[in-house]
Amino acid sequence: MSENNIIYLSFITETSDSLAGQAFFNESEECIGNFEFYLKDEYLIAALNIYPEYQGKGFGYYVFSYCFKKLDEGYKIRCFLSSWSTDLEYSHLPSDQSINFNVFWRKMEESEDTDVALWSTPTGKWLRRMKFKSVQAVKVSLDEVKAIYYR
C-alpha cells in the first residue's frame, strides 16, 4: 500500500474487547469495506470484508493488523479462530464464497496438506507476518473450514 492510499477507520463499536466499523479510502465517503473483531474466551475472532475492487492492494492487511494490534494492547492475544464458508454473507462475491475458503481449497487440490493450505490463505499469510507459529484445523468440510492459529 503506497503512502497515497490512506485508510481511515470509522468505528461503530470500540471497546477493550471488540472493534467494529467501516474502512474508508483517503478519508472520503468511499467505503472500501467493513470489519468486526472481538475477543471471546482466549480467541480473537474477526469478520473482514474488503470490497472486491479494493482487494489485493494491502488494504485488508492494514485493517486486520491495525485492529489486531489495538486489541492486543489490552490482552495478549494467543489464538485466532478463523471460520470460512459458502454462506449468504459472501453472496456479493463472484463465487459466493469466502476468499480464504477458495484459496484453502485451491491449495488443498495442489498439496493435499491442510497446514500448507491454511497458511496459504490471506489470513494465514497475515498471521504468519504477525509471528503466529502453528495452526490446527478444527473443521474441514465442503461448505466450511475452521482453524485455530497460535502465537
Q: What is the pLDDT along the chain (151 residues), one digit of tens a residue?
A: 444 567 889 999 999 999 999 999 876 778 999 999 999 988 999 999 998 888 889 999 999 999 999 999 988 899 999 999 876 555 555 555 678 988 999 999 998 899 999 999 999 999 999 999 999 999 999 889 999 999 9
Taking the domains of the chain in order of start, what are their residue ranges?
A: 1-38+45-75, 78-151
What is this structure's pTM?
0.88
Task: Determine how many CB atoms are found less than 10 A away from the CB of residue 32.
Answer: 23
108-130 burial, b at 16+ Cβ within 10 Å, e below that, comes to beeeeebeebbbbbbbbebbeeb
